[in-house]
Structure 1
Amino acid sequence: MINSMTGFGKASLQLPLKKITVEVKSLNSKNLDLSVRLPQVYKEKELEIRNLIACELERGKIDFSLFIEVTGEETASRINAPIVKAYINQMKEILPHADETELMKMAVRMPDSLKTERLEIDENEWKSIQSVITEALQNIAAFRAQEGKKLQDDFILRIGNIRQLMNEILILDPERIVAVKDRIKNNLNELQITIDENRFEQEVIYYLEKLDITEEKVRLLNHLDYFLETLNSDEANGRKLGFISQEMGREINTTGSKSNHSQMQKLVVQMKDELEKIKEQVLNVL
């Protein structure tokens, strides 16, 4: 069963004084391209979070965000009382009859009147946040699996189409061989020369061997079967599917170059079209 690299997961938790929200977004990428956004207080946990995400999601362009919304009275900013008092005293010396309320309003706007205290991580709170992160990762994994099912259905359809087109080519193959023989013979007849029939048959056989597509047919059908087998494996297989689709392309191209038949070439073009759709979607497979 394949998984898509595209996905979205979200989870939230309401604590007594704050609301925790985790969002994880993922797009396709050749490797793990991870961006983590955290409030400053949780920066020391970034490596732990990165390792968890890498283990769970493996590959993709991933954006992880942890949001903290304070809903209680907790705040990291405090009024720096000595500084504020010093500002007020200085302004009283300049404006001795000024209203103290107005002086207070001016003082709290001055530099250093507020100080930000570094909050320590509460381990019990962090355990709750870990559970939210795990839930968000589970949600994006479920999203990826759902998208992977859609991709798999599309792959099975495209592989079936290529197989059907190859079968139609094989039906035309005997007609193509006869047409090639007749064309060569007609060209020789137009030259009005005497030919050695035995030598002619030998040369025709040699020429037709170069146009034979039996090997291409066998290899292409093997690649189609291997592609379907890989779809059903349990491991992350996006890269392997990409390699198989490249091999399928080589056999289809060789079949087209050997076809020497207009109807077969049309079928080859249709096969290429189906394969390009497969290659485009393979880029999204984990």
Structure 2
Amino acid sequence: MLLSMTGFGEAQQQAGGEMTRVEIRAVNNRHFKLISRLPEGYNSLEGDIEAVVRDQVRRGSLQLTLTVTRDLSPENCLLNEAIILGYYQQLQRLAKQCKPCDQAGVPHLEWGTLLNLPGAVGDTQRSKDLEQEWPVIQQVVRDCIGQLNTMRAREGAALAADLMSNLQVMSRELQQIEGRAPEIVRAYETRLLDRINQLLSEHKVQADPTLIVREVGVFAERSDISEEIVRLRSHLQQFENMVQHETAPGRKLDFMIQEMLRETNTIGSKANDAQVARHVVEIKTAIERLREMVQNVE
């Protein structure tokens, strides 16, 4: 089963007076890259979170966002006096410059304004409960990855169908080339004899049949594409097996595409035939479509 490298997942869980929520967005990347956006005080969990994600995702560029909303009770709240005082002093200086003062010359500063500023109110339980929170966070991350992989699998199935469709196009074109191959030498022999007969009639000379046979033989050996056809068909079969039976064959598929393109180019150059050239163009067009799609396969 193929997995796309593009997807989105989200999950949340309410436990112990907290709402833990995780979002993951994924796009294609040749390697694994995870950017974690964690709340203040949770950075120590970054390595553990990455280990959970790596267990389920092999390639791709992922952005994970963790939010923890705590239902703070008064006994768990801590006013950070130094931070609040710093805010107050800065706001006081600014207020004096803007002159929004009362009759006594005191700046108008609301407590609600101060307490809503970052870091003004802390939580006495957060640092000591982080280890206890981890099982919940771990489970939410796993649930989120499950949602992500559901989307990736759905897109992967669509990719697999498109890949198989292009493989069928390539197989049909290759069959046409294989049918044309025996005619290539005969067509060359006909063209060669026609040209020789024309020259003989113009110059009234005799041709050595042995030389003609030798020339045709050299061309036949030089234009033999049977081995390339066999190898290309083998690549098509291997590609199909990877699509149908492997979970993360993206790198292998990319390599196989390079091999298919190489064999196709060799067929076109060796055959030196207009009909074969048309089929080669169709195969190369399908290969380019494969290349674009495989960039998003894990």
Matches within 5 A, 1:25-174: 25-70=25-70, 73=73, 78=79, 80=81, 98=104, 105=110, 114=120, 116=122, 119-122=126-129, 123-174=131-182
Q: What is the rounded CA distance, in whole Å, between the counterparts of 1:107 and 1:152 in structure 2?
A: 56
The amino acid that maps onto 1:80 is E
Give the structure 1 partner of residue 98 of structure 2. none
Q: TM-score of the superposition, structure 2-length normalised?
A: 0.81
What residue in structure 2 maps to residue 204 of structure 1? 216
In 1: Cα distance, 2:37 partner to 2:77 partner: 19
Structure 2 equivalent of residue 247 of structure 1:
259
Structure 1 residue 62 displacement after superposition: 0.8
Question: Alignment RMSD, CA only?
Answer: 3.3
CA–CA distance in structure 1, aligned partners of residues 133 and 29 of structure 2: 34
Matched, 1:195 2:207: yes
**Percent pairwise identity:** 31
**Within 1, Cα distance between the matches of 2:138 and 2:58?**
19
Contact map agreement 2:19 2:68 (CA 8 A) in 1: yes
Which amino acid is 2:38 matched to?
Answer: L
Say whether the 8 Å CA contact 1:16–1:72 is kept in structure 2.
no
Q: Is the 8 A contact 2:52 2:138 kept in 1?
A: no
Taking the aligned partners of 1:194 and 1:155, their CA distance within structure 2 comes to 57
Gaps of 5+ in 2: 93-100
- 1:168 Cα shift? 1.2
Instruction: Please list the CA deviations of residues 209-233 of structure 1 after superposition, one character each: whole Å capped at 9, or x if unmatched.
Output: 1111101110001111111122233
Aligned-partner SS, 1:41: coil
Structure 1 position 268, deviation (Å) = 0.7
> Where does structure 1 lack aligned partners over 5 or more consecutive residues?
none
Counterpart among 227, 234, 247 of residue 215 in structure 1: 227
Q: 1:271 aligns with which of 280, 283, 288?
A: 283
Structure 1 165/65 Cα, relative in aligned 2: closer, same or farther at 3 Å?
same
**Offset at 1:191?**
1.9
1:229-251 deviation digits (Å, cap 9, x = unpaired) = 22233452111111111111111
Change (3 A) 1:212 1:79: closer
For residues 99-153 of structure 1, the C-alpha deviation after alignment (integer angstroms, 9 at most, x for no partner) is: 99x7774898599x94656731524433222211110011112221221111111
Residue 159 of structure 2 contacts residue 293 of structure 2 at CA under 8 Å; is this kept in 1?
yes
Give the Å deviation of 1:202. Answer: 1.8
Q: TM-score, normalised by structure 1?
A: 0.84
Q: Is the 8 A contact 1:216 1:251 kept in 2?
A: yes
Q: 1:184 aligns with which of 189, 192, 210?
A: 192
SS at match of 2:64: strand
Larger deviation: 189-198 or 271-280?
189-198
Shift in alpha-carbon separation, 1:248–1:103, aligned structure 2, 3 A? closer
Distance 1:276 1:253 in 2: 13
1:178-216 Cα shifts (integer Å, max 9, x gaps): 221111112222222422112211221111211111011
Residues 4 and 285, structure 1, Cα contact 8 Å, conserved in 2: yes
- 1:14: Cα distance to partner? 3.0
Distance 1:41 1:277, change over 3 A: same
2:42 partner SS: helix
SS of equivalent to 2:23? strand
Structure 1 residues 106 and 156, CA gap change in structure 2 (3 angstroms)? closer
Q: 2-side partners of 1:268 and 1:138: how far apart?
A: 42
